[in-house]
Amino acid sequence: MEDFKLHNDEKKLLKIFQEAYDNKNITKLSVEGLAKNELMGSETKVMRTALWLSAEDKKLVNIIENKSKIAKLTEEGKKVVEKGLPERQVANYMIENDLKNIPIKELGNILDKSEVNPALGNLKKKKIAKIEKGNIIIENLQYEDKEENTLNKIKINEENKNSDLNNYNDEEKKLINNLQKRGFIAIEEEVDRAIELTEKGIEFIKNNIIEIKEEISQLTREHIVSGKWKDCHIRPYDAKIPSEEVYPAKLHPMTRIINDVKEVLIGMGFKEVKNPIVETEFWNFDVLFEPQDHPARDMQDTFFLRYPNKGEIPEMVKDIKSIHEKGMVGDKKISKGWRYEFDEEISKKTVLRTHTTVSSIKYLASLTDEEKEKPHKIFSIDRVFRNEAIDYSHLPEFYQCEGIILAEGVHFDNLIGLLKEFLNRLGFEQVRIRPAYFPFTEPSLEAEVFVEGRGWLELLGAGVFRPEVVEPLGINKPVLAWGIGLSRLAMLRWGLTDIRELHKNELNWLKKA
């Protein structure tokens, strides 16, 4: 045998190759297959041993890796393969009930609430149906759907272990991308590894008898007392060789994003404030100068509480009523107001807060006259709730971060500089600002960041609170405000295309994230 310092695991792996070469002239074996051999026993052991044998001083084997992307059905995908896509379920319902059209409002009786909007959108997008006077009209109820064909093909390929994305044509790949956004398909990366003998390795197994002797990894008292240590081969250690992967307990990716943002803001001199998730319409809407008949306040966007369905509102409701009705703060007229009759009973209704701006407003309202003379920098990170249909980019519950600065002489340029610094510290090197509109700030802006491969993406909104918002609170200084959705930030950091992946708690993804 050549002058190699081979330990037993290396000898065992070469022994397997020696037998394969002698029997069938095989020089390449999969890691999975080698792991099943009783001499090895695990893929970790195979890889560790192959790394030793591929080192510069030996070069007896090469490690070959082939990476592939695999399309797999999610749990939702398996369901729609069985019962059809939401749009197909509508067509099937019409067939079963001998209908030519169906009112849109009846979709809720056929589909889950989360499926209604996607079904309606895809019926129009795929030109399956016409929408006339609130009715869905499908002329061909036996239509062919390429997305369904693709889902069925993926199911068959999965069963045959042949779901590599390379097995699909360009049109199917586009359909797979759309189905992934709809949550029916997940794309996973798989790595196939094999070990191959080099020319040197082939010569080695041809010309050497490989003997496997007893090997010990540590000396015991018995070895020393008996003198057996003199005859034992002590296995050498290499601290640089990779060991089996261990996944210790760690924080959830969403929690880590929250902690990172907190650390940045505290480092920039902000302090955190907290408030309850249940608020009155007074604090959630009225104080922000949102009219009581604004569409965002109805059941389409807001969760209203059945119990308790009313809460207490402060005395300052009179000032808010005046600003809404006449644009007046005391004797001072600052705008036209909304010119409608303000209803205090509406203000008392309870809701799940729709934004964290309510924390900023309640903080400003709590300041004494003396405190209002001092500068303030505060932020809030918390859950907010909106009555959204669940899809790849929307959830009814998500995390939002809100921040404000109250100080004499601060202006719009200060806000731009602050946001650029904030986003730079979060790891976004390229930031640009665009004008925007928000109901309770003027002027307003949106900040966009450049993400390699995805281009410019809008990340946060900001502006200067309108006088109608701050003056009823007794504040006559400018207040800079901004907000950012942390779920979108998390999606960018981990390269996700579906917001639901953040909350599925899929163990393999959590281990790698």
Residue 506 annotated as part of some ligand binding site: no
Q: Give start and end residues of each alpha helix (H) in 59-112.
A: 75-83, 86-96, 107-110
Q: Where do the DSSP E strands lie in 142-275?
A: 185-197, 215-216, 233-234, 271-272
Question: Residue 183 carries which DSSP code?
Answer: T
Contact 118, 389 (CB under 8 A): yes
Closest CA to 144 of 175, 170, 167: 175
User: What φ, ψ does residue 215 adopt, rounded to 5°?
Assistant: -135, 140
Rounded to 5°, the CA angle 58-62-64 comes to: 160
Find out whether the peptide bond into 443 is cis, omega within 30 degrees of 0.
yes
Burial 462-501 (b: 16+ CB within 10 A, else e): bbbbbbbbbbbbbbeebbbbbbbbbbbbbbbbeebebbbb
289 is in an annotated binding site: no
Tracing tokens 């925007």 back to the chain, one arrives at: 436
Distance of CA 127 to the CA centre of its chain: 31
Give the helix ranges, DSSP H, for 198-280.
199-207, 221-226, 253-267
* Vertex 502 angle, CA 501 and 507, to 5°: 75
Residues in contact with 70: Cβ distance below 8 Å, sequence separation at least 6, in sequence order:
163, 164, 165, 187, 188, 189, 190
Collapsing DSSP to helix, strand or coil, 45 comes out as helix
Q: Which residues pair with 401 in a beta bridge?
A: 381, 484
Is 465 known as a binding-site position? yes
In contact, 296 and 336? CB cutoff 8 Å: no
Q: Which helix (H) or strand (E) holds 326?
A: helix 317-326
- Give which of 350, 315, 22, 29 is closest to 196, Cα–Cα: 29
Tokens representing 321 are 């009523």
The number of angstroms, rounded, from the C-alpha of 128 to the middle of its chain's C-alpha atoms is 32
DSSP class per residue in 425-449: HTT---EEEEEEEETTEEEEEEEEE
Residue 440 labeled ligand binder = yes
Binding-site residues sit at 357, 440, 442, 465
Binding-site members for Mg(2+) are: 442
- Detail the residues annotated as belonging to a binding site for L-phenylalanine: 357, 440, 465
